Structure 1
């Protein structure tokens, strides 16, 4: 075997991995979140969890991706830790589908029809069909289907090329000695885990093992520790995704790790002890693609059957290893039984809306932190919280709509309207916070930073908006008329700052003291920050409308009321506006540097 064979083999592995990645990405796009929705609606029945975990993983062909989804859902408070155990066990079974597809390489060429299913023939056909769909047919779903078919074709081509490339290895004594060494169970497990952790895909490492099996050097006692190691190595992706997440999210990743470690250790002891006593006749059997695929499936099914009755023990184990109270952000349970008592249902809905406000505030502060110090883990946390916000909005909408079918008092109808408006405002604050985070991502990806004066301006504006959110949330939580009055002056200061900072930044752009890229991001931030304060104003006006004394203009015409405030007809408003302006706006104007500093 010369250098050309080595290069061919590495190229074949690269092609195989690219095909698998392309196919998996296409499957995930085609699901359009529907698979995630299936997982979210999972009941506490662990057996259903196993079936759904196997189904979802079988469709997207990545147990790591399924486990990472679980980590994200637990981190966002959408799913409980106990619900993930069955899904993780099922994911290990679902990931065996790829190996079963690749065993088509073992089909005999004697049967003309069956020979058409061999990767050497099927791969190019699928690649041609896939590329036609992917490149020449318009339509999102058709393009995704084309990507899946193209990926599968490339996967088969890569597998066939790998099989051809490794063929010369079978005559090398060194290669045979290397694989003989893997019969040492500890070494086999370590190598299997290391390769899978590097590739971050047990399906990919299993495909490589299947290709090598065509050389005739892979025996049962060599394959079993490698397969067990591959199952352990695939947990690395979920462990990495849990860094910086909540304790329960870390526990979810640890369940995946311990499930695979315990199952592997148990069957290693059983098999090696059994062989020592009984001398299994299959111990030295040569494995082919099909037998490796079957062994992989059997091992994962056996592990699930072994540990499924102990699912609660696994949960307690990881809770002991990662001690402390749960940091999970539980989504408020809107039990439909409360609907029989509208007053109680409205109280629960009010608590859930406050929870939305806290999540929106958290996301805003995280987004602002990203502007100063970009951190991928914080960005992941923000995105997961945004998912929780969206789910809560949908749940509350549905809950309140169901409540309207009940016999309600006029006051309860008003409360429902207020809740619907407020939850929408909090959800929009979350959306605009995501926009701020996207600006931070754009700056980070382009390697550009704002100047000192721009940073100072943004700091003042983001501080003002932060106080506006704090006041809006506080006045809503307390349903306080006095606290509600404090929001509109802050919102007016934010409007003033947006206008002046935009004008100053445009002047810097004109003078060439600021680049177009920076200018665009700065102006985009101004827009999003001002809109966040607008929604805070909406929340406060809603509370004013509910709590104002009789005769107040806000009770009859909120637009006229805000117009009166902004045109100097309310001394109390003017005093609070002046105080907020002195805190945030005036220091900027007094410290304005020369234009050239930008």
Structure 2
């Protein structure tokens, strides 16, 4: 009983160590990691390399995949762009097994880790900033190594009660049952790394045969998709498609690797007898993930299209999808909020730009009610963001977003006063600047542009000057009997409307650029 408790306690300590280390590494990587994921996904191969590197860095494929699912939901990344990262995350997670093998089994650093745990914990509790993050990484790693020692001690005491003979053999049914066991254990632990460490410990103690451990590891690869699937539930269609693609990829990899284990069981056992079984297990774990990536990457566009057909986007969904789970990471939440603000601004600019055209189209202005809901959702989301202390760029981004929301709300109110537009287009003096404003807004709706943002500022200054002169001319003309009083009021109100709308549009564009400067850039081909 004591040995079983030691084994379970060691697993719990390993899970805690993984959580502490992963959270600290993710926090330390911070904005650079999000920029890496958001930027370098222009091709499936680059996505694979990015996903593998990010996962090896933060030691958690689930964390990488959940982050990518959140980026898809925020509109920062499309589902096809995310697939390369998902493939790479499965490859990058194999680094954890090698780390555990070298540090925990080959070098046996548990005594050193136990001695280092106290100063590392003190640094995590008393330190600030980079010192605290580095100390948490060290403390998490120490916990991992100590946990492995505890697990090994517990497993060693169970060798008389738990042997390979107590578990299913290398038959087809037996291997499938073992794979199912690996899947269930990983889902319960919510960590394929912890499940893999347990398999390594059991293999090292002799409680598992190599072929049994391989089958369990194959099941773990499917079980690790559960976290991303859970993160996609209730999200946008693109988020659900990404979660499904992750599951299908891992099932496909399992389908490729399982026959190799079944038909090659004798050869694999011979390899394990001639060499270190743990190394053979890790080589196989890395190899079948590499095989899956090699086969899926060339057909990524077709695979994405297949997933889209299996789980189509019905349309008619919300204008913005702000996943509350992203609030756990303030900077990721700000990325999602800015992407939502960009979508609202683009919708407003497109509608106003179409109305301020040589042949005015008012249909966009009549269909802006989703902007009201989107602005309300964005305000609630922003209220729930908790900014980390001492992060000036993050605070500036938050402030810029608040200004954007204010001006977007005012611009939405101006858009409801479409009756002013015809007066502008009928006025021979105001028609030309009004059409220039419309053209600039249409270009901004197609994608953020520093040049167009500056152009709006210049147009606002021009319209402000013309407004004062033209208002004076209208009043003089009314006094001379050239214009009716109603005509003067209509055109004066129209000028005021254009000036205020232009002011709000220019401020939104300006704050948008300032906020984007403090956030990871969107991937190429997906801006705005």
- TM range, normalised to the smaller chain? 0.5 to 0.7
- Per mean C-alpha deviation after superposition, the further-off stretch among 67-76 and 128-137 is 128-137
Question: Shift of the alpha carbon at 1:119?
Answer: 2.8
Query: 2:193 maps to which residue?
Result: 203
Query: 1:387 maps to which residue?
Result: 335
Query: 1:179 maps to which residue?
Result: 167
Query: 1:242 maps to which residue?
Result: 232
Pick from 116, 131, 137: which aligns with 1:148? 137
User: Given that residues 246 and 327 in structure 1 are in contact (C-alpha distance below 8 angstroms), is that contact kept between their aligned partners in structure 2?
Assistant: no
* Residues 111-510 of structure 1 mapped to structure 2, 5 A cutoff: 117-137=107-127, 139-172=128-161, 174-181=162-169, 184-274=174-264, 281-282=270-271, 288-325=277-314, 387-391=335-339, 432-437=379-384, 472-473=411-412, 475-476=414-415, 481=420
Whole-Å separation in 2 of the counterparts to 1:236 and 1:289: 26
User: Given that residues 75 and 246 in structure 1 are in contact (C-alpha distance below 8 angstroms), is that contact kept between their aligned partners in structure 2?
Assistant: yes
Question: Shift of the alpha carbon at 1:10?
Answer: 1.6
Superimposed CA distance per residue, residues 324-379 of structure 1 (whole angstroms, 9 cap, x where no aligned partner): 456799xxxxxxxxxxxxxxxxxxxxxxxxxxxx75xx87xx9xxxxxxxxx6798
Question: Shift of the alpha carbon at 1:213?
Answer: 1.5
Question: Shift of the alpha carbon at 1:427?
Answer: 12
Question: Shift of the alpha carbon at 1:136?
Answer: 3.3
User: Given that residues 205 and 230 in structure 1 are in contact (C-alpha distance below 8 angstroms), is that contact kept between their aligned partners in structure 2?
Assistant: yes
Query: 2:67 maps to which residue?
Result: 69
User: Given that residues 122 and 156 in structure 1 are in contact (C-alpha distance below 8 angstroms), is that contact kept between their aligned partners in structure 2?
Assistant: no
CA pair 481-154 structure 1, distance change in 2 beyond 3 A = same
CA pair 132-388 structure 1, distance change in 2 beyond 3 A = closer
Pick from 40, 43, 50: which aligns with 1:42? 40
Q: Tell me the SS of whatever aligns to 2:207.
A: coil
- Per mean C-alpha deviation after superposition, the further-off stretch among 309-318 and 473-482 is 473-482
Question: Shift of the alpha carbon at 1:190?
Answer: 0.6
Question: Shift of the alpha carbon at 1:279?
Answer: 8.8
Superimposed CA distance per residue, residues 378-401 of structure 1 (whole angstroms, 9 cap, x where no aligned partner): 989x9988534425779999xxxx
Taking CA–CA contacts closer than 8 Å with sequence separation of 6 or more, which of the two structures ends up with the larger relative contact order?
Answer: 2
Whole-Å separation in 1 of the counterparts to 2:61 and 2:326: 24
Output the TM-score relative to the length of structure 1: 0.57
Whole-Å separation in 1 of the counterparts to 2:344 and 2:229: 33
Question: Shift of the alpha carbon at 1:149?
Answer: 0.5
Output the TM-score relative to the length of structure 2: 0.64
Whole-Å separation in 1 of the counterparts to 2:495 and 2:312: 55
Whole-Å separation in 1 of the counterparts to 2:385 and 2:326: 13
CA pair 433-142 structure 1, distance change in 2 beyond 3 A = same
Q: Tell me the SS of whatever aligns to 1:261.
A: helix
Query: 1:404 maps to which residue?
Result: none
User: Given that residues 214 and 289 in structure 1 are in contact (C-alpha distance below 8 angstroms), is that contact kept between their aligned partners in structure 2?
Assistant: yes
RMSD over equivalenced CA pairs, Å: 4.3
Residue ranges of structure 1 left out of the alignment (5+ in a row): 109-116, 330-357, 367-375, 398-425, 440-465, 484-540, 562-598
User: Given that residues 4 and 158 in structure 2 are in contact (C-alpha distance below 8 angstroms), is that contact kept between their aligned partners in structure 1?
Assistant: no
